[in-house]
Every structure is written in C-alpha cells, then in structure tokens.
Structure 1
C-alpha cells in the first residue's frame, strides 16, 4: 500500500487499528500465524469474531490490493480510493459480528466497498450538478485554476500506458456498466457473486456485462486509433 495511504488522517480508536493493519506487512514468523495463513477467509472471520485480531490483519493483507483496484477502476481517483479502502475495512472491523458464514466473506466485503463507491459516485454527480447550476445563476467571472494532468507517455512503461487508456475508457461508460465489468473482468468474480454484491438479477448482470464490454471495446478501439494516428 502506498505511503499516501499511511499518511491519511483518520480518527483514533478502531480507525487507528485499521490503519495499522493496512500499513503493516503480515509477518508469519510463528506457528500461530502460519496456522492462520492456511485458513479460508470465512475461518479467519470466525477467528476475528472470537477476538484474534491477527486474523483481521491477514484478511486486510489478502484484499487491500484487489479492493484498491476495484474502487479505483470504479471512481478513477486514487485519493478517494484510499479513503474508501480505509472506510471499507473500518466497517468490517466494526461490524464483524454481523457477518454470517452463509455468505462468502469476499461477497460481504465487496458489497460494503461497492455501496461506499456507489454512494461517493452519486455525491460527485450531485456536486457537479450543483456547481453547474451555481455558475448558471451567477454572471460574475471566476478565475479557476485547473491542475495540469497532462499524460506523458515517455514517462510510463507500455503496460502503464495501456492501463491509462483502459481507465480513461472505463470513466466514459455509465456507472451501471462500469461496476459489473470491473467485478467480472478485473476482479474475476463469478456471475452469482456479482449478482449478490450488486443486488441485481442474474439476467441483468449478464446483460450489463455484455453491453459494458461492447461499449468499452468501442471506446478502446477509438482511443488506440487516435493514438496511432
């Protein structure tokens, strides 16, 4: 996890424990840790519910990178991604006793992260709408400083360049398609699990994935065509 995440200000108490779990590596230097490392996610949650905090550390270690990828692909903002990652694990910590083994841990976790990401996305849409309405109601001129986010291909490897274009294309497809495509094609989750996470019928999930892929492929084709020219 990046140093930026470790520097993020969060409240004391449980939030501090979550922050430490996010920033410290799992160190399997004893038999107890070795035994925990062999456990399934669901068994680790049972251990955590029984008071074994090391089990929570291992769960954080297993999922912080996949969740970072998921949230970032959804929102396209690393700073916001880091904040939501902490909030996700904070909710896992606080609500650990509400988890039941009838559900996969990963499904429960991604549901929490997905709800937070969707909520943040809607807030952004409302903020953009409010900003536009405010400008339309006021005839005064404003000087706005826009940060330079120019992409410099010469500073990136080929894989990073490809990732950049994929992320740009993802930003351009509607939220309902973006989320399911990321869950399926980036996170490699099963259709059944995606349906549980999003609360959508299976048919809707499959339809949105297919439509999202089609839109994404069209955008990537256009982007690469422009780039080659």
Structure 2
C-alpha cells in the first residue's frame, strides 16, 4: 500500500501582543508571562536611563510588572500593548525618583563595585557608540524620547502618551537631540582628523 505523504506542518505564527494582552485580561497568567518575557529586557534598558541605578531599575521593573498585572483589566486595544506597558514603567520611574529625591550617589558607587550589577548594566545598555554619546549629551527625558522613537519604534503619539508630553514637545525634542548628536559627532570627527598632539615637540637646542 502506498503511504500518503503527510503535509509538512506549518509553524504557527506567534500571537501578537494585543492577542496575548486580551487573554491576560481574561485571566491567563501564561499569556501575561509571555508578554513579560518579550519586554523585560527592553523595559530594564528603558528604566536604567530613567532611574540611573541598576538596582533602582530592577526594583522599578518589578513594580511595573506588578502594576501591569493588577491593571491588565484596564488595557484597551486603542493603544499598542507596548505603549501601555512603557507608560506604566515611565510613571513608576517618576514615582521612584520622587521618593528617592535625587539620584543616590552612594548607590551608584555600590552598583559599580558589584560585579553582578556591572554585568547586568552592560547587558542592558545599548551596544551602539551613538547611544553612549546620546546618554552622555542628552537630559534624561530627551534621551528617553529618542530611545522610544528609534529603539522601540514608537510613534510620536505613543511617545507623547508614555512621557506625558505633548506631540509638539516630542517632535522638538527629537529634532534637537538629533542636532546635538550631529554636532557632537562632527566635533569628534574633526578632532580625530587632526591627529594626536605631538609628543616632545619642543625645539631642538
């Protein structure tokens, strides 16, 4: 008897964030866990630049996840799930900074001295030199807007919702940040083209 060839099984496409969020809203912890698996590293990266401390960022990440689960029934597909989640994260970071006052300098030193914290910070930080330059040049909120636009592919409207700023503010922030980076990169390129200063360049006696 000739065996009938079985058709190759097609891999099921992964459920969208919004589908999983709807399932989580109906009480599915598994769906919510899958969403967190997709976003935990990205949230940590975002929160690190909103709190300036790896330990604070990790605490804020846990608080964000708890608040998202407790309020998942309020989620509406009117917004992309990532926009809703990052909005919660941004508000958690603001609350944390208000509670802590200014950045705790000693905590920063402790984190840098802790190899595990340093490793986590390096893992979560963008590996592009341009982002390192942006982190050095830009105020926190402007860096966050730039990261959400290019790193998270959010629209101006979505960034406006996450940061609680107007769309006009986001557009101006993105423009000014790009200009600041262009000027800094041009200055670095000119400095590199000039070459290192001469060593022992005094006149011969």
Return the TM-score normalized by structure 1: 0.60
RMSD: 3.5
| Cα displacement string for residues 177-225 of structure 1 (whole angstroms, at most 9, x for unaligned residues) | 1221111122221222112222322222111111122224444555675
Unaligned 5+ residue runs, structure 1? 1-33, 132-145, 151-159
Aligned residue number for residue 166 of structure 2: 201
Return the TM-score normalized by structure 2: 0.66
Residue 140 of structure 2 is aligned to residue 175 of structure 1? yes
Contact 2:50 2:144 in 1 (8 A): yes
Aligned residue number for residue 51 of structure 1: 27
Contact 1:60 1:89 in 2 (8 A): yes
Cα distance in 1, alignment partners of residues 187 and 41 from structure 2: 30
Aligned residue number for residue 179 of structure 2: 214
Contact 1:49 1:96 in 2 (8 A): yes
Deviation of 1:61 after TM superposition, in Å, equals 0.7
Cα distance in 2, alignment partners of residues 121 and 217 from structure 1: 30
Please show how residues 52-201 of structure 1 align to structure 2 within 5 Å.
Answer: 52-122=28-98, 126-127=101-102, 163=128, 166-167=131-132, 169-201=134-166
Deviation of 1:96 after TM superposition, in Å, equals 1.3
Contact 1:192 1:202 in 2 (8 A): yes
Structure whose alpha-carbon radius of gyration is higher: 2
Report the count of equivalent residues: 170
Unaligned 5+ residue runs, structure 2? 1-10, 114-124, 197-205
Deviation of 1:50 after TM superposition, in Å, equals 1.6
Deviation of 1:101 after TM superposition, in Å, equals 2.3
